[in-house]
Amino acid sequence: MAEIMLCETFELYNLLNQSRRGSRLAEINYLCLIDARETQDYRMSHIITARNMKTDSEGSFLLPEAVEVDSMQHVVVYDGNSSCLKERGRAAECAQVLAKASLHPVRVVRGGFQRFSALYPFLRTEKVMYTIKELENLKTYPVEVIAGLLYMGDQDQAMESSILRDLKISSIISISQSDTPGSTRGSQTILHIPVANSAASDLYSSFERICSFIDSHASVGSRVLIVSRWGRSRCSAATTAFLMHHLKYTLEEACRYVLKCKPSVRPNTGFLQQLSDWELHTRGAKVTDVSELRF
């Protein structure tokens, strides 16, 4: 039987917004998202791509039809507002059934649909059935690195006004050689870092400026989005540097955290060495072996 654990709302948000050319939600074995609420509640509104968990005549949950739970990389369940696993709520009962079939941990969303939909109303829907093409073309949002504070994505996402509006982004750090310098774009404050994605490029000298920019905006409740062209190398290096500064993480801890938020990130070798130098700056010693980092 698989382990059952709580997960935070932003963790589910990030699972829903992973991409590989298209949304990963189109991958048949990627995510099994289960809505354990009553059917009438599910039909009114639910989290995008969620399936309603049916019950038998005695009220016991049944495994979802046409879903091979044992092949799923991620199994997540939510009900109305479960806040802990000790509650005998519908999510906990549903998770017990799923855990018997799953090979991976079954996660219960803390706060359930009520909390998730309050934080991410743009990911609610009444739609039940999707074609593969529709799933591939679903809009993906920047991942959330620090809840309500820091996001990481690509330049296309930074240019889409609906994404910035939905996430309430007020400040953007754009790391790109091709960007046109500017202090504002619409209602967003822009910090442009003109660095190419090359192992020979110097991003280290901008770490202090990046961290100060995020700190100053976070102190007044502003949300910051860090982007680079593809959202893989430069923005992940800058995000890692901020986590080392803000949360006092080692380089290894920060890299592990960023990978959990977005497994497709790949800082280039030059940036990893600069992050090692940043670890010396922030901690007074190099405690991470860069050659052992898993990217």
Which region holds residue 28: left if phi is over 0, alpha if psi is between -120 and 50, else beta?
alpha
Same domain, 126 and 180: no
Domain containing residue 262 = 143-292
Q: Which of 106, 136, 166 corresponds to the end of one domain?
A: 136
Same domain, 163 and 278: yes
Q: Which of 86, 104, 136 corresponds to the end of one domain?
A: 136
For the domain that residue 86 is a member of, what is the CATH number?
3.40.250.10
What is the number of domains present in the chain? 2
Q: What is the pLDDT of residues 115-127, one digit of tens each?
A: 999 999 999 999 9
Q: Which residues of 34-50 are buried (b: 16+ CB within 10 A; e: fewer)?
A: bbbbeeeebeeebbbbb
Same domain, 38 and 178: no
pLDDT for residue 273:
97
Distance (Å, whole) CA 112 – CA 79 = 5
For the domain that residue 231 is a member of, what is the CATH number?
3.90.190.10
Same domain, 80 and 177: no
Same domain, 29 and 106: yes
Same domain, 286 and 185: yes
Is the pTM value of this prediction over 0.85?
yes
Same domain, 130 and 179: no
Q: What is the pLDDT of residues 179-228, one digit of tens each?
A: 554 555 667 899 999 999 999 999 999 999 999 999 999 999 899 999 99
Q: What is the pLDDT of residues 228-275, one digit of tens each?
A: 999 999 999 999 999 999 999 999 999 999 999 999 999 999 999 999
